[in-house]
Amino acid sequence: MKKLIVGNWKMNGSLQTNADLVSDVVQGLPASLNCGVGVAVPAVYVAQVQALVQGSGVAVAAQDVSQHEKGAYTGETSASMLQDLGVRYTLVGHSERRQYHGETDAVVAAKAQAALAKGVTPIVCVGETLAEREAGQTEQVVKRQLAAVIHQVGHCISELVVAYEPVWAIGTGKTASPEQAQAVHAVLRAQLAAATEHAGRVPLLYGGSMNAANAVPLLSQADIDGGLVGGASLKAADFLQIIAAAN
Ligand code: 13P
């Protein structure tokens, strides 16, 4: 499978800095791009960034989507709206949404389903906290998180992207070792394989302090098909080195 590198800008950016960053990334892409590249941008900048990446092969992703179809949900963005703009992917269940916005496994599953129903590929984020890892619950937690989505989306499982993001590695500079990450990815792959014969088609991304220095060893693991990159995706040179490692 081709690798997939998605930058998650989180709540960062402005018209000016987006234009500078995307222009540097697009200009620095490998002449022959053999991996998928995407950027998950704040909803308010989706249209701007779509115009900026046009013709470059870089896909635009949203960072969240509502589980509701439409109506009185102030502040939310529906999957139809993302479809209307031609948005390719949306993150669902990022740990920051789970932690600060109370998103449960059931809500995350409903969001994944809402996105799939409109042809927007959900990038389902799962991952354990430090306390859960230290209590030996990593496998149990990520399996529970993924199971909720698998049960909800039925035969569409093979259309998902899954991102393993250990919460203790996000924005901390502490990366999971390639072996730690691979061990969890293998668990996720096996879980998908029990649910669909097309588990090999589901990209499993690693996220959590991925950077130019650790991208190569992480991306060379058997079940690591790409990266979900936070901080390093805000610096064109770093993001480009990660893309080069995946290419
Ligand atoms: P960092 O790469 O900044 O640790 O963020 C990871 C992440 O949360 C991507 O979604």
Q: How far, in Å, are 127, 128, 239 from residue 137 at the CA level?
A: 11, 8, 32
Number of separate domains in the chain: 1
**In degrees rounded to 5, what are phi and psi of residue 71?**
115, -150
Domain span at residue 134 reads 4-246
Q: What one-letter code names the amino acid at 1? A: M
Distance CA 224, CA 243 (A): 14
165 classed as catalytic:
yes
Atom of ligand 1 nearest to the CA of 125: 10
Strand spans (E) along the chain: 4-8, 36-41, 58-62, 89-92, 121-126, 161-164, 204-207, 226-229
Q: What one-letter code names the amino acid at 217? A: P
Atom of ligand 1 nearest to the CA of 173: 4
Distance CA 11, CA 43 (A): 10
Q: What is the CATH classification number for the domain harbouring 56?
A: 3.20.20.70
User: Are residues 133 and 166 in contact, defined by beta-carbon separation less than 8 angstroms?
Assistant: yes
Q: Give the model's pLDDT for residue 173.
A: 81
Q: Give the model's pLDDT for residue 160.
A: 98
Q: Give the model's pLDDT for residue 129.
A: 95
**In degrees rounded to 5, what are phi and psi of residue 77?**
-120, 130
**In degrees rounded to 5, what are phi and psi of residue 182?**
-60, -40
Q: Give the model's pLDDT for residue 137.
A: 97
3-class secondary-structure state, position 91: strand
Distance CA 180, CA 102 (A): 27
**In degrees rounded to 5, what are phi and psi of residue 95?**
-60, -30
Q: How far, in Å, are 26, 121, 237 from residue 185 at the CA level?
A: 30, 19, 27
Q: Give the model's pLDDT for residue 174.
A: 83
Q: Give the model's pLDDT for residue 171.
A: 85
Pocket flag, ligand 1, residue 219 (CB < 6 Å):
no
pLDDT in tens, the chain (247 residues): 999 999 999 999 999 999 999 999 999 999 999 999 999 999 999 999 999 999 999 999 999 999 999 999 999 999 999 999 999 999 999 999 999 999 999 999 999 999 999 999 999 999 999 999 999 999 999 999 999 999 999 889 999 999 999 999 988 888 889 999 999 999 999 999 999 999 999 999 999 999 999 999 999 999 999 999 999 999 999 999 999 999 9
For ligand 1, atom 1, which residue shows the shortest CA distance? 230
